[in-house]
Chains A and B, each alone.
Chain A
């Protein structure tokens, strides 16, 4: 009996072609974006969204055109941090004119992300559904001409992997950690995964420096991966803190 690849007539459903069309749509919408930077960490609660929002504002104040895609579909916080107006069609303009797209702009206040579909064994399809939603946030938005598109990623590596598939080329990565050894160990795994996938590591932002949190996570990771610590963010940063970070990208 012949196998799939031995049947030469095209698959009428054209699923590979449909997927390719989706990818083209993403590429077309991002054609005017000069630089895509994923802000990520293997650790939750280190301030990725906070860093992303303030970095975006600093870049915008320096005269760059900047967009932020909030890739945290389940816990979107960018609309709040950039104070985007409610119920506007994406991309909306937030503080300092930063363009923003987030699932938070679509969901009702406080509503969880919930997909229609069969309830039992929903883990089978939920990941695919989230990847589709992410693709739409990237590819169904008229981003226009941007100097920077910052991608605010949730903890873990799943969203990063999805983005690599959607973008074709892996995005450059800015890593956020806090000083602790626990954060260092989690972030190390994420950085290794990013390197293995082919991302360029731009550097490390060490957040929440100078308070109760002790450790040398930033320096440890910088030495291990041969990348700079591009910023150490104190508990009470000033606009200059963020401007300095923006100038190092």
Chain B
């Protein structure tokens, strides 16, 4: 590829201001001597100029307000989910603590035997099974109730 051909390859980029300083100088120097490349460079320059002045699209009305509302709505939903998860975990831990404390007290007070319907409730396995069901049910109900209350408070505010 000779100099003319290699310059002709980059004329569009030269007009777009996309060449480094050395290549741009090479193009300019060649274009001064070569009428064909000069004419091509002028045409590409017109394109570049035109592309920088295209008609602008109208931004939809209320775009900013709708975007802002969607962002805060989404963030509130994420915050709610996180808060509910945190609350569920905290309540579960609290319930386990209460459950184990009561197990210890019952065990001391009943001497290690509290038989109901043939099952010794003070045995750790039975106590744990019953406690687990009660703990999760209570925590889930509490989280739902508290979550609803938070949403209502947010709506009011």
A and B interact? no
Binding site for B on A (CB under 8 A): none
Chain B residues with CB under 8 Å of chain A are none
